[in-house]
Amino acid sequence: MKKKWEYYETDETKVKEIAEQFQLPTLVANILVNRNITQKDKIEVFLNPNRNDFYSPYLLNDMEKAVNRIQKAIQEHEKVVIYGDYDVDGITSITVLKRFLAEQQLQADYYVPDRLEEGYGLNKKAMEHLAKKGYQLMITVDCGITAMEEVDYATELGMETIVTDHHEPLDTIPKALAVVNPKRKDSTYPFQGLAGVGVVFKLIQAISEKLGLLEKAYLKYLDLVCIGTISDIVPLIDENRVITKLGLKLVAVTKNIGLRELIKSIKLKKIDSTSISFGVAPRMNACGRMGKADEAIELFLTENVAEAHEITEKLNRYNSNRQIIEKRIFQEAMDRIAKDHIDQENSIVLGGENWHHGVIGIVSSKITETFYKPSILICFDGEEGKGSGRSIMGFDLHKALCESSAYLDKFGGHEMAVGLSLQRKNFEPFKKKFQEIIEVSNIQEMLPVIKIDADLDLKKISLQTVEELMQLEPFGEQNKVPIFGFKNLKIDAIRSLSDGKHLKLSLKYSNGWLDAIGFNMGELVEQYRIGDKVDVVGTLEINQFRDRENLQVNLKDMRRSF
């Protein structure tokens, strides 16, 4: 697939100024400028955040109300339930708040809707169930900002509600006792990008300050807050940078028995944003996808090593099972795309029987990544269909669903990812309408863009260069792993790995050789030969093999040199 290479327009004067002022390697200063981190105070916090860099939690709307109501619940030993989401953000949010409240002698319960039966967020049936159990206060975490009817219903049933969330609100917010969300339209909080667990962290920080507790009462939870934040793909800048930079240090020495067991089972060589995203998060998410989110919560609540080990093994099994199901659905989808030449169309809309609703979102992501086209997958059970969709930069998927909503029972999400439900009889009319919308969007002109930080001269870089770049960790949204260009290299060796799936190269330049690995780029082995001159773009990394370390490029794209 053709990709567009774009270079940042770097202010060299500013790069030199920052490098000198902060005693930084020029390359590190270059990337800070590319990320628009150029103010002295912002650079200091970015490079060396500390606990004094957190904003006051009371800058969040309704925080005072929420804290006062929770303080009352603590004093009067009220019956409280925490209502959360089934993903990593929700799981960590529930765990952090429940453990913190328990230390204040308030034993709160929790409720997570079944992903497969109830779907995301609050629902009236759950409100009835909780009211019957006699809960006086419900605290939502990572959900609730659009649950106007459900919060009203909870009030009717005699439950007060505090909403804590980070998702986009509608024009109105729920009539809860307090609504704590940095994205509120009337919010003046300095940073809008907190994850759900980040909002919970601000809540326990505020309660701690109100009760006169030591800072460690809330700071000790930064390990779980960090995991939820990284996993939810929120921007890793500003206050999230402080959370994750400090949190990763705690993850490495975590006192949480369940988290320790999980990390041990994965055999992580290094604790960083990548190991959280690709090691810890998928196992936690697998629980929610398979309808077992409570298992992950119990893992982080337990104080028993044997129980933690047992639950960890379950999580790993769920993840393996999820991978098998995902692989099957992906292959079925790819076979149908090839058979019916659907890849020739401007979008990919498929419906299938026996497709697991908890997994099709991942498959949709893979299909969109493979063909760089919006995709929607629907799994049918009888006459009911539930689906997930993923988009590409420049095409608003949520807006497209709004325009085709006559055929949908329910939908939600944002421009890049959606969830939806419809009746089987409406599938073909929906597909036709959706493709009509796509037709007028000029989607064929939208190419994947690779943003390149700089071209590098291989004679001037080393393993130390990679170590210096680690000052920019943790990487994530709005602080992507730096991508570099390397020009006019000669292919010295080329082969495919893993049955043709991946690409392995040895690239020669004037002073030596550079190893390169291209994941999911195995098809290029047929397009290039030894001796070809190429330009490549990718990330720099250290490859460890048999106690040896060498520089390696993780390829993002490759083309012939001109």
**Listed range (146-155, 463-472, 497-506, 544-553) with the worst mean pLDDT:** 544-553
Among 210, 233, 256, the domain-final residue is 233
Asked whether residue 316 is assigned to any structural domain, the reply reads no
In three-state secondary structure terms, 516 is: strand
Distance CA 62, CA 308 (A): 37
CATH of the domain at 522: 2.40.50.460
Same domain, 216 and 362: no
Asked whether residue 267 is assigned to any structural domain, the reply reads no
Rg, C-alpha atoms of the chain = 25
- CA-nearest of 105, 66, 60, 73 to 198 is 60
Asked whether residue 263 is assigned to any structural domain, the reply reads no
Distance CA 126, CA 112 (A): 9
Same domain, 38 and 69: no
Same domain, 67 and 201: yes
Same domain, 203 and 350: no
Distance CA 154, CA 230 (A): 32
More confident residue, 277 or 546: 277
pLDDT band for 306, please (50, 70, 90 cuts): very high
pLDDT band for 168, please (50, 70, 90 cuts): confident
pLDDT band for 232, please (50, 70, 90 cuts): confident
Q: What is the distance, to the nearest Å, from the Cα of residue 172 to the centroid of all Cα atoms in its chain? A: 27
Specify the DSSP class assigned to residue 475.
P
Q: How far is CA 429 from CA 422, 424, 504, in A?
A: 11, 10, 45
pLDDT the model gives residue 305: 96
Q: Return the percent helix, strand and coil in the chain, to nearest 5.
A: 45, 20, 35
Domain count for the chain, please give it. Answer: 3
Give the tens place of pLDDT for each residue, 44-53.
999 999 999 9
- Tokens at 202, concatenated: 């601000």
Asked whether residue 252 is assigned to any structural domain, the reply reads no
Find the domain containing 544 and state its range: 4-48+450-560
Same domain, 469 and 405: no
Mean pLDDT of 32-56: 93
CB 465 within 8 A of CB 490: no
- CA-nearest of 158, 152, 164 to 197 is 164
Same domain, 77 and 222: yes
Same domain, 202 and 142: yes
Supply φ then ψ for residue 515, to 5 degrees: -80, 150
CB 288 within 8 A of CB 86: yes
CATH of the domain at 415: 3.10.310.30
Mean pLDDT of 203-216: 97
pLDDT band for 439, please (50, 70, 90 cuts): confident
Give the tens place of pLDDT for each residue, 233-273.
889 999 999 999 999 999 999 999 999 999 999 988 889 99
Residue 112 region by backbone torsions, left for phi larger than 0, else alpha for psi between -120 and 50, else beta: beta
CA quadruple 309, 315, 317, 323: dihedral, nearest 10: -150
Among 233, 265, 289, the domain-final residue is 233
In Å, the largest CA–CA distance within the chain is 77
Give the tens place of pLDDT for each residue, 85-102.
888 999 999 999 999 999
H/E stretch holding 279 reads: none
Same domain, 493 and 382: no
Work out the angle at residue 59's Cα, subtended by the Cα atoms of residues 58 and 61, and round it to the nearest 5 degrees.
90
Same domain, 127 and 201: yes
Average pLDDT score over the chain: 92
Asked whether residue 241 is assigned to any structural domain, the reply reads no
pLDDT the model gives residue 118: 72
Same domain, 41 and 89: no
Supply φ then ψ for residue 184, to 5 degrees: -55, 145
Asked whether residue 294 is assigned to any structural domain, the reply reads no
Distance CA 74, CA 77 (A): 5
Distance CA 360, CA 355 (A): 7
Supply φ then ψ for residue 561, to 5 degrees: -70, 145
pLDDT the model gives residue 149: 93
With a cut of 90, say whether residue 393 has pLDDT above it. Answer: no
Asked whether residue 350 is assigned to any structural domain, the reply reads yes
pLDDT band for 167, please (50, 70, 90 cuts): confident
* Cβ-based neighbour number of residue 522 at 10 Å: 18
Task: State percent of the chain over pLDDT 90.
Answer: 74
- Tokens at 143, concatenated: 């959900």
pLDDT the model gives residue 547: 76
Same domain, 85 and 223: yes
Asked whether residue 201 is assigned to any structural domain, the reply reads yes
In three-state secondary structure terms, 498 is: coil
- CA-nearest of 519, 526, 513 to 554 is 519
Same domain, 429 and 463: no
Among 233, 258, 290, the domain-final residue is 233
pLDDT band for 58, please (50, 70, 90 cuts): very high
With a cut of 90, say whether residue 420 has pLDDT above it. Answer: no
